[in-house]
Amino acid sequence: MQFRTRAIHVGQDRDPQTGAVVPPIHLASTFVQPGAGEWGEFDYSRSGNPTRKNLEQTVADLEGASATGGGALAFASGMAAIHCVTAMLRSGDHVLAGSDIYGGAYRLLHKIMNRAGVEVTLADATDLDEFERGFRPNTKLVWVESPGNPRMSITDYAAAAEMAHEHGALMGCDNTFATPVLCRPLELGADIVMHSATKYYGGHSDLMGGLLAVGDKSLFDELYFVQNATGAIMGPLECFLTSRGIKTMELRVKEQSRTAQRLAEWLDGHAKVKRVLYAGLPTHPGHAIAKRQMQGGFGAMITFELDGDFAETKRFCEATELFQLAVSLGAVESLIEQPASMSHASYDAEDRAKHGVTDGLIRLSVGLEAFEDLKADLDQAFD
C-alpha cells in the first residue's frame, strides 16, 4: 500500500466489539491480569497501552522500522524522546552533534547531560571532512538534523550514518522538519529517527508528543527499557490525536511544502531580505543533497535574514497577523518567530554567533493558508 493509505489503515483496525472504524481511546492506567505472576499483553499503562500501541504500529510502518524488525515508541514530548536516546549513554561517552540543531537539544546536551559526565562537540554536519574531525575514540552517538533548525542546513544522512558506523557510533537524527512524508532516514542508514509529534505528526497545535523509530530490534529493546524505567510516555488522548493527525499528514505536508516553495522564491527576490535559507532554492548549498534524499518537496519551514538589526527583526515578527508570533511549527496555522530571542535563546550567546544564529534571522512555519494571503501578510510587515 502507498504511504497515505498505510497512514490511514495500519494500526487503526476497526474495534472488534462494536465495529467502530476509529479505535476507542483506552484511558485505563492498569489492567486485570489472568493470575498472580501471569501477565497479559498490558499490565500498567507506563509499560504499554492499547491506544499507544496503535500509534506506535502506525509510526513504525511509516518510518520503515517494522520492515527490519524494529519498532516505534511514543513519548510525552520530543525532548523526552531525545532524552531517552541520551539516557543510554554513560559517563565518559562523547556525543558529536551538528551545529544546526534545535535549542532544546542544545540545552539537553550541554546543560543536563554534562552533569552525567557526557561530553559534547558541535560541528558542521554539512562539511563531512570537518564533521569527521569531531569524532573521538569515545564517540558513541552522532546527532544531526536535516533540514537543520533554524538555518535549514542539509545533512547527507546516508554519508553521516556511514561515517558514524565507521567510528563505532550510533547515528540518530531529528527528522521533524522533513517528516516521513519527504524523507525516511532509516532507509538511508540511520539507527534512530526522532520526531516531535507536536509538529507535523499531530499537525493542529493541540498536543505534545515525541516519537522514536528504530530499525534494529536489540536497540529498540534498549530504548524501550529506558522509556519504561524513566516513564516519559505519551498519554492515551495525545496518542489518539496523533493517530488522527497522521491520516492527513501527507496531504498537509505536501501542500504546505508547495506554498513554502513559492514564498521562498518570492522572498529570495525581496529588496529588504539579505538571504533566504530554503533547500528548495537552487542557490541553497544543500539543494542537490536535499533533492536526492527528500521526495515530494523540500518542507514547509523557511528561514530568512532581514536586512536589519535585532530590534528591527523583533518589530517585523510582531507586525504579522496571519503569521502568528509563537514557537513551535508544523501545524495548519502559519507561525513566525525570531530564533535569537525565542527558539534558540537557550544557546549561549557565543555559540549563537559561532553557529550563525544571527539577530536578523526569522523562521517561518508555513501553514495551510492561501499563498496570496500569506504573501500579503509579509508584505504589510515589510512596510
Please give the positions annotated as active site: 46, 102, 174, 199
- Sequence-ordered alpha helix ranges (H) in 3-86: 3-9, 50-63, 78-86
Q: What is the strand order of the sheet 139-145 is part of?
A: 71-75, 210-214, 192-196, 170-174, 139-145, 94-98, 119-123
Check the CA dihedral 45-50-51-52 and report its sign. positive
Query: Percent helix, strand, coil in the chain (nearest 5)?
Result: 40, 15, 45
Count of residues for the chain? 383
**Residue 316: how many CA atoms within 13 Å on its side-chain side?**
25
**Cis previous bond, 147, omega within 30:** yes
Using CA atoms, how far residue 83 sits from 77, 125, 345, 377, in Å, is 10, 21, 20, 38
**Rounded Cα–Cα distance for residues 77 and 96 (Å):** 23
290 burial (CB, 10 Å; 0-12 / 13-18 / 19+) is: buried
Radius of gyration of the chain (CA): 21
Instruction: List the one residue out of 343, 353, 341 whose CA is nearest residue 313.
Output: 341
Straight-line distance from the first to the last Cα atom of the chain, in angstroms, rounded to the nearest whole number: 49
Bridge-partner residues for 275, per DSSP?
305
C-alpha cell at 347: 544557546
Cβ contact 154:305 at 8 Å: no
321-329 long-range CB contacts below 8 Å, 24 or more apart? 321/377, 321/380, 322/369, 322/373, 322/374, 322/377, 323/364, 323/374, 323/377, 323/378, 323/381, 328/198, 328/199, 328/205, 328/365, 329/177, 329/199, 329/301, 329/363, 329/365
